Structures are given as C-alpha cells and as structure tokens.
C-alpha cells in the first residue's frame, strides 16, 4: 500500500508546537496522506476538528480512508494551500501545519512524472486538472527563460547548457518522458554516481516548482497565516529547500502579528533521519499569533 511507504516528517514536534486541545479547530493545508492531521486529531480528542486542504485528489481519497475513524471531526477541500482562508469561511484556527515536501507515493508513481527514477510523462502536476505540465513549460519557454527557471528554482549552475540541450531535444522530437529529460541533463553534468546527489535532482526540482507555482503559493499562504490564526494560534511550516525556508523565516520575523517560536529552524535528529531518510533536508519553523487586543492597541 502506498501510504506504508510514507513516514510523516516532524509528526511529534508539530504536535508539541501546536499543542492541540479538545474543542480546538486546526488546519492542515498540505494534507498529503494525513499523518499530521491524524496526530492532531488524536491529540485533540474527543472533539477537536481539522480542516484539510490538498490540490491532489488522489491524496485526498487516500487520506479519507485513513481518517475515516474520526468521522465528522475532519473536513476535506481540494484546493491550493493559499486558499486556506476561503476553505475556512471566516473561521479562525488554533493551529496550522504545512508540510511543503513531495510525498513518497507521489514520487513513486511514474505517471506523475515527478521523479527521474521512474520513466513517465513530463507532467509534474500536483493537480491533474491544472493547465501547465512540465512538457508544456519546457516547450513554451524561450531557452533563456528556461535557463533562468532552472537556475533560480534549482540553484543549478549549469542551467544554460542544460536548457540549450533540452530545447534541442524538443526540436528533434526526443523530449517526451522523464527518462529523456534525465538523460539530457546527464549529457551536461555526467551520469549519476553512487552515494552522490543525482545530477538531475536540481533541474527536476526547478521544473516541479515552476509547474505548480510552489513559491507563489507559499507566499500567498504566508500572507494569510496571521489572518486565519486565532489569538495564540500556532503556525508550523516544514520546508525542504532554502527557497522555501528563507521565505518562511523572513515572513515570521517581519510580521508584527506573529511571535517567532523557533529562533533557528528545528532539524530532524539522527533517529528520525535513520527511520526516514526523506527528513534529512527538512526544517521546521513555528510562530504564534499575538493577541488582537495588542494589535489594536498598537
């Protein structure tokens, strides 16, 4: 079963930071397979509730099965994480969690086109109904625009020769699958080496971020956070690369309505990394909503 392959990152620490209580209302804006939601529901028994958001209908379907024992204590919305305020409909939450990583099942499903380890279509969409795919992106961008995306979102220094070969492969009709994309990248960077980061990693990350507007979604979520949190409510956000973590850090520090709870990002300990290698690059930051009386007084 796919869910068995996925281990929730920072499950216990998120619960510690949010401190769920009976009768509380919480939001999980990146539902995935429901690990954080399950932990919050268990900690807020018997009547705490969680509003769950995910743009991936497959993730929602799988989570509904996992969370069925909690009944009407959980509600589901297929939308983007930046639409949390709309999903809440004016309600304020006592805690909010966002896990910005890609789930293991998503990476393992070849048809999603998210991984260079499985040959599949150049898709990369989290929402299968979205208009932009990785194929349409690399086809429609100019070579210099594609190079900029790969550099800015993937921190890939060889972005220009990679973009050049991608466009040549498209013109030759040789760019249809993830295998084609990976082999094109290897022509520039060399083949994968055992124990080293796969040379295709940064380019695949960059295209996935662009296809799903991940940084724009995060920016809009960070604007919404202080609006949707109740007084004393806590936002806990897990990021997996510096582009995300930097945005979370600066938003939390520069937002006067939030009190930073983690001066430095929390990182997984050795035990969690051994149990879940995916957690190695994870960083967790949290902030608490200041009382609105103080806001009004200021």
Closest by CA position to 247, among listed 135, 163, 153: 153
Reported as a pLDDT band with limits 50, 70 and 90, residue 114 is confident
Q: What average pLDDT does this structure show over 67-75?
A: 98
The CATH class given to the 2-104+216-297 domain equals alpha beta
Of the pLDDT bands very low, low, confident and very high (cuts 50, 70, 90), residue 109 is: confident
Answering whether pTM is above 0.85, one says yes
What is the distance between the alpha carbons of residues 88 and 77, in angstroms, rounded to a whole number? 10
| Contact status, residue 175 vs residue 169, Cβ threshold 8 Å | yes
Span 135-178, pLDDT tens digits: 999 999 999 999 999 999 999 999 999 999 999 999 999 999 99
Radius of gyration from C-alpha coordinates of the chain:
20
Residue keyed to tokens 């209302």: 25
What per-residue confidence (pLDDT) applies to 4? 40
What's the mean pLDDT when you consider all of the chain? Answer: 92
Cβ–Cβ < 8 Å for 83, 52: no
What share of the chain has pLDDT > 90, as a percent? 83
Are residues 297 and 241 in contact, defined by beta-carbon separation less than 8 angstroms?
no
Is the pLDDT at 183 greater than 60, yes or no?
A: yes
Domain residues of the chain, as ranges?
2-104+216-297, 131-211
Cα-flanking dihedrals φ and ψ of residue 96, to 5°?
-140, 135
9-33 pLDDT per residue, tens: 999 999 999 999 999 999 999 999 9
CB atoms within 10 A of CB 275: 11
pLDDT digits over 202-257, tens only? 999 999 999 999 999 999 999 999 999 999 999 999 999 999 999 999 999 999 99
CATH number for the segment(s) 131-211: 1.10.150.170
């Amino acid at each position: 079963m796919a869910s068995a392959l996925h281990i929730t990152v920072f499950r216990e620490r998120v619960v510690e930071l949010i401190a769920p209580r009976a009768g509380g209302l919480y939001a999980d804006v990146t539902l995935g397979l429901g690990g954080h939601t399950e932990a919050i529901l268990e900690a807020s028994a018997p009547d705490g509730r969680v509003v769950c958001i995910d743009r991936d209908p497959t993730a929602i379907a799988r989570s509904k099965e996992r969370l069925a024992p909690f009944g009407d204590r959980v509600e589901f919305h297929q939308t983007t994480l930046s639409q949390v305020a709309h999903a809440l409909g004016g309600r304020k939450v006592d805690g909010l969690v966002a896990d910005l990583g890609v789930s293991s099942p998503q990476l393992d499903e070849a048809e999603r086109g998210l991984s260079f380890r499985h040959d599949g279509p150049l898709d990369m969409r989290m929402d299968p109904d979205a208009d932009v795919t990785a194929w349409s992106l690399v086809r429609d961008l100019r070579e210099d625009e594609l190079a900029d995306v790969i550099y800015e979102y993937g921190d890939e220094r060889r972005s220009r020769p990679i973009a050049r070969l991608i466009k040549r492969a498209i013109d030759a009709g040789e760019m249809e699958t993830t295998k084609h994309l990976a082999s094109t990248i290897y022509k520039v960077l060399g083949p994968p080496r055992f124990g080293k980061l796969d040379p295709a990693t940064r380019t695949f990350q960059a295209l996935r971020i662009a296809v799903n507007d991940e940084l724009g979604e995060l920016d809009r979520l960070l604007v919404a956070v202080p609006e949707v949190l109740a007084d004393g409510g806590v936002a806990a956000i897990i990021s997996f690369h510096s582009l995300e973590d930097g945005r979370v850090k600066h938003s939390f520090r520069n937002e006067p309505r939030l009190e930073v709870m983690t001066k430095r990002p929390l990182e997984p300990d050795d035990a969690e990394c051994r149990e879940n290698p995916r957690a190695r690059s994870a960083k967790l930051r949290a902030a608490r909503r200041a009382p609105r009386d103080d806001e009004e007084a200021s």
